[in-house]
Amino acid sequence: MNVLLIVIASISAITWLGLGLLFYMTMHNKPIFRGTAFSGKEITYPSLSIVIAACNEEESIEQTVTRLLNQDYPGLELIVVNDRSTDSTGVILAELDIKYSQLKVITITALPPNWLGKNHAVHQGAKHATGAWILLTDADVMFSPDSLKKTISYALEHKLDHLTILPDVVNRGFFFRGFFSLFMFSMTVTFATKRCAGFATFNLLKRSVYEAIGGYEAIAMQVIDDFSLGQLVVKQGYRQNFGYSKGLTSVKFYDSLSATFKGFEKNFFGCTNYSVTGLLLTCCLILFLHVYPFVGLLFGPQLARVLCGVPVITVFIIYHYGNRYIDAPTVNFFIHPISALLYIGVLLNSMIKTLRQGGINWRGTFYSLKELRKYTSF
Q: Distance between CA atoms of 214 and 41, rounded to whole angstroms?
A: 34
pLDDT tens, position by position, 50-89: 999 999 999 999 999 999 999 999 999 999 999 999 999 9
Give the residue among 97, 136, 142 at the shortest CA–CA distance from 118: 136
Q: Report the pLDDT value the prediction gives residue 377, as an integer from 0 to 100.
A: 62
Q: Name the pairing type of β-strands 141-143 and 249-251.
A: antiparallel
State which of 253, 274, 308 marks the end of a domain: 253
Question: Do 110 and 234 have their domain in common?
Answer: yes
Question: Do 209 and 73 have their domain in common?
Answer: yes
Residues 209, 234 contacting (CB under 8 angstroms): no
Q: Report if residue 286 sits inside a domain.
A: yes
Beta partners for residue 107, in sequence order: 82
Domains in the chain, number = 2
Q: Is the pLDDT of residue 40 over 80?
A: no
What backbone torsions phi and psi does residue 366 show, to the nearest 5 degrees? Answer: -95, 135
First and final C-alpha spacing in the chain:
38
Residues whose CB falls within 8 Å of the CB of residue 104, separated by 6 or more in sequence, listed in order: 77, 78, 79, 80, 97, 128
Overall average pLDDT of the 151-177 stretch? 92
Residues in the chain: 378
Q: Distance between CA atoms of 57 and 92, rounded to whole angstroms?
A: 10
Query: Number of C-alpha atoms within 13 angstroms, CB side, residue 352?
Result: 8
Question: Do 159 and 236 have their domain in common?
Answer: yes
Overall average pLDDT of the 116-137 stretch? 97
Question: Do 189 and 302 have their domain in common?
Answer: no
Q: Report if residue 371 sits inside a domain.
A: no
Question: Do 55 and 194 have their domain in common?
Answer: yes
Question: Do 67 and 156 have their domain in common?
Answer: yes
Burial label for 2, CB within 10 Å (0-12, 13-18, 19+), is exposed
What SS3 string covers the chain?
Answer: CHHHHHHHHHHHHHHHHHHHHHHHHHHCCCCEEECCCCCCCCCCCCCEEEEEEECCCCCCHHHHHHHHHCCCCCCEEEEEEEECCCCCHHHHHHHHHHHCCCEEEEEECCCCCCCCHHHHHHHHHHHCCCCCEEEEECCCEEECCCHHHHHHHHHHHCCCCEEEEECEECCCCHHHHHHHHHHHHHHHHHHHHHCCCCCCCCEEEEHHHHHHCCHHHHHCCCCCHHHHHHHHHHHCCCCEEEEEEEECEEECCCCCHHHHHHHCCCCCHHHHCCCHHHHHHHHHHHHHHHHHHHHHCCCCCHHHHHHHHHHHHHHHHHHHHHCCCCCCCHHHHHHHHHHHHHHHHHHHHHHHHHHHHCEEEECCEEEEHHHHHCCCCC
Question: Do 220 and 325 have their domain in common?
Answer: no
Q: Report the pLDDT value the prediction gives residue 27, as an integer from 0 to 100.
A: 92
Q: Distance between CA atoms of 149 and 201, rounded to whole angstroms?
A: 17
State which of 232, 253, 274 marks the end of a domain: 253
Q: Is the pLDDT of residue 362 over 90?
A: no
Question: Where is pLDDT greater, at 258 or 18?
Answer: 18
Question: Do 71 and 212 have their domain in common?
Answer: yes
Q: Report if residue 33 sits inside a domain.
A: no
Residue 337 sits in which domain range? Answer: 2-26+259-362
What backbone torsions phi and psi does residue 33 show, to the nearest 5 degrees? Answer: -105, 115
Q: Report if residue 246 sits inside a domain.
A: yes
Q: Name the pairing type of β-strands 203-206 and 162-166.
A: antiparallel
Q: Is the pLDDT of residue 156 over 90?
A: yes
Q: Report the pLDDT value the prediction gives residue 375, as an integer from 0 to 100.
A: 79
State which of 217, 238, 253 marks the end of a domain: 253
Q: Distance between CA atoms of 365 and 266, rounded to whole angstroms?
A: 12
Q: Report if residue 373 sits inside a domain.
A: no
Q: Report if residue 96 sits inside a domain.
A: yes
Q: Report the pLDDT value the prediction gives residue 329, as an integer from 0 to 100.
A: 87
Q: Report the pLDDT value the prediction gives residue 285, as an integer from 0 to 100.
A: 97
Question: Do 242 and 280 have their domain in common?
Answer: no
Q: Distance between CA atoms of 144 and 245, rounded to whole angstroms?
A: 10
pLDDT tens, position by position, 228-277: 999 999 999 999 999 999 999 999 888 777 888 888 998 899 999 999 99
Percent share of the chain, pLDDT over 70: 99
Q: Is the pTM of this model over 0.85?
A: yes
Q: Report if residue 39 sits inside a domain.
A: no
Indicate which CATH number applies to the domain containing 240. Answer: 3.90.550.10
Q: Report if residue 36 sits inside a domain.
A: no
Residues 164, 203 contacting (CB under 8 angstroms): yes
Q: Is the pLDDT of residue 39 over 90?
A: no
Q: Report the pLDDT value the prediction gives residue 253, as an integer from 0 to 100.
A: 81
Question: Do 202 and 351 have their domain in common?
Answer: no
Q: Report the pLDDT value the prediction gives residue 378, as an integer from 0 to 100.
A: 58
